[in-house]
Amino acid sequence: MTSYLSRLSEVSKSGYYRWLHAEQTRQIKEVSDEQDLILIKNQFNAFNKKAGTLVIKMFNGDTWRISLKKRRTDLLAIR
């Protein structure tokens, strides 16, 4: 059955099994992203909605010693 479905969806069987076993990792990353997103939104609102992603990144690093890369801040801010 796995062979048929992997051929149908044009993925390898090993890729399917890798994806299947990475579910817990994806869930952990999703929770982490949600927490970071809440942090970024709270900071954005604290700056009266006039702060860009670079300002928020610098504020995190200087004030709270939280290391969020600018690219990650950009991606989360798009949500």
Q: For 11-68, how does the pLDDT look when each residue is reduced to its tens digit (9 = 90+)?
A: 999 998 998 899 999 999 889 888 878 877 777 777 776 777 667 666 666 565 566 6
Question: Would you call 24 helix, strand, or coil by DSSP?
Answer: helix
C-beta separation of 70 from 53 below 8 A? yes
Give residue 6's pLDDT. 87
Alpha helices in 1-79 (DSSP H): 2-9, 13-21, 23-46, 53-59, 70-78
Give residue 42's pLDDT. 77
What pTM was estimated for this model as a whole? 0.54
CB neighbours of residue 40 within 10 Å: 21
